[in-house]
Structure 1
Amino acid sequence: MDETSAEPGAVRLVHNADRDRYEALDGDEVLAVLAHEDEDPPDGDGRALGVRLRDLRSTVVAPERSGAGIGSAIVRFALDDIRGLGMTVRPTCWFVRGWIERHPEYADLLETAAPETDGDDR
């Protein structure tokens, strides 16, 4: 499990790879979860290139801790981890998508859509 270093009593942010999620912990108590799924999208020739995309699917913060910045902290932690791994991100989760819109310095992590064609191959 990858985690941040934390001061005593501070919220710890960890990547729980066995459960495909990032977690914010206070001791053993889970305060927030950011669930993800890794994908191996094919290249233009249909060949798999290894896991390169992390789909951030759902962010949940304990209701009693809502508004304390934990959701933002876990998203930043996840995106920094994804950047360090050289991956791209698909923000399926509305909270993550909005967070990236408010923090354009993370927009470079977004997956790029394949060029659309109009069906006319002339």
Structure 2
Amino acid sequence: MDQQSSARIDAWLWAVRVYKTRSLATAACRAGHVRLNGERVKPAQPVRIGDEVRVRIEGFDRILEVSGILVKRVGAPVAAQAAIDKTPPPPPPTEVPLQIVRDRGAGRPTKRERRDIERLRGH
């Protein structure tokens, strides 16, 4: 790990392997999917040891604590030491509502179909 006191957040997210490319990390920052200590950040925002980084990926927040500063992509074991994952476990599949899939071109559901859909969702 480098002996720097800070690094750009987009470069750090790429270096610890949250995003596959640095441009994806930059785009996520611009879209507002990255928060540093609760605040939305720009890609050039400096990140320091002890900061909390929240990243929204696939609809779920991933919570990371910065434990090391990296600016270049390194091996996976070294990258794992630079971030402490504090993300809570995902909810069990029974708590996630079922996705109702209708055939394409089927039109609006009838009143009976709508009631069946609501019953499946638990309303």
Q: TM-score, normalised by structure 1?
A: 0.25
* Structure exhibiting the larger radius of gyration computed from Cα positions: 2
Q: TM-score, normalised by structure 2?
A: 0.25
Larger relative contact order (Cα-Cα within 8 Å, sequence gap ≥ 6): 2
